Chain A
Amino acid sequence: EDQVTQSPEALRLQEGESSSLNCSYTVSGLRGLFWYRQDPGKGPEFLFTLYSAGEEKEKERLKATLTKKESFLHITAPKPEDSATYLCAVKDSSYKLIFGSGTRLLVRP
C-alpha cells in the first residue's frame, strides 16, 4: 500500500535559520513526488515535482531533493513569509495523488 510520512509535524525556526523537512515514501511505480505549500484556509499551491532519484529543483529559498526512499525540502535562510504547511505527495501508476499529513513551519522574525 502506498504510504507517505512527513517529519517533523511542526517546526519553529528563527528568521535566517536554515533547516530541512523530510518526506519518506513507499509506492509501487513512482510517477512523481510533489511538494505543495498550503496557507491557512487556502488550497495547496504547487511547488515542485521530482521524478527520479538524484533529481533536485530550486525556487527562491527552497530546494527539493529526491532519493529512492525519501525527499527533502531544504529551506535556506527562511523569512516569516515562508511560514505555512508544506505537503508532500506521491503519484503511483494510477491517477491518484497520496498525501502525507504535512509539516507546519513557523518562521519567527
Chain B
Amino acid sequence: SQTIHQWPATLVQPVGSPLSLECTVEGTSNPNLYWYRQAAGRGLQLLFYSVGIGQISSEVPQNLSASRPQDRQFILSSKKLLLSDSGFYLCAWTSPAGFGNTIYFGEGSWLTVV
C-alpha cells in the first residue's frame, strides 16, 4: 500500500531564517506531488505541484520554492521566512494514471514564524 511521510511535524523558526520541509511517498512510482498551505480556520491553498522529477509548477508568487530531486521526494524551501509564512503545510500525492484520481494527504507540518 502507498504511504506518505512528511517532516518535521512542528517547527518554530525566526523571521529571516531558512526553511526546509520534506515529503516522501512510498509504494508508488511517478506520482503527482503537491504542496498546500492552510492558514488558521481557512481552506487549503495550492502552492506547488509536480508531475515529474525536476518539473515544478508554482501557483502562488511568494518567497517559497519547491524541488523534486527524486521521483518520490518533494521539498518545500525558503531562504528567508516571513511572518506571513506561518501556517499548516500539507504534502499530497496522486497516481498519474488519470485526471480524476484521488489526492491523498500527509499529516502536515505546523510552521510558526516568530
Contact = CB atoms under 8 A, between A and B. Distances in A.
Interface in B67-103: 88, 90, 92, 94, 99-103
Interface string B6-36: 1000000000000000000000000010101
B61 interface: no
A44 B44 contact: yes
Given A42-B108, A95-B32, A95-B51, 20 more contacts: A31-B99, A32-B99, A32-B100, A34-B102, A36-B105, A41-B88, A41-B108, A41-B110, A43-B6, A43-B90, A44-B44, A44-B105, A49-B100, A87-B43, A89-B44, A91-B99, A98-B46, A99-B36, A99-B43, A100-B43
B57 to A, nearest CB: 8
Nearest to B32: A95
A96 B99 contact: no
Contact of B102 (A42, A46, A93, A99): A46
Interface residues of A, number: 25
23 contacts: A31-B100, A32-B99, A34-B102, A36-B105, A41-B88, A41-B108, A43-B6, A45-B105, A46-B103, A46-B104, A49-B102, A87-B43, A95-B32, A95-B51, A95-B94, A95-B99, A96-B59, A97-B34, A97-B92, A99-B36, A99-B44, A101-B42, A102-B43
B106 A43 contact: yes
Interface residues of B, number: 26
A36 B102 CA distance: 10
Contacts of B36: 99
B65 to A, nearest CB: 18
A106 to B, nearest CB: 14
Interface in A1-57: 31-32, 34, 36, 41-46, 49, 51
A101 B108 contact: no
B108 A43 contact: yes
Nearest to B99: A31
Contacts of B92: 43, 97
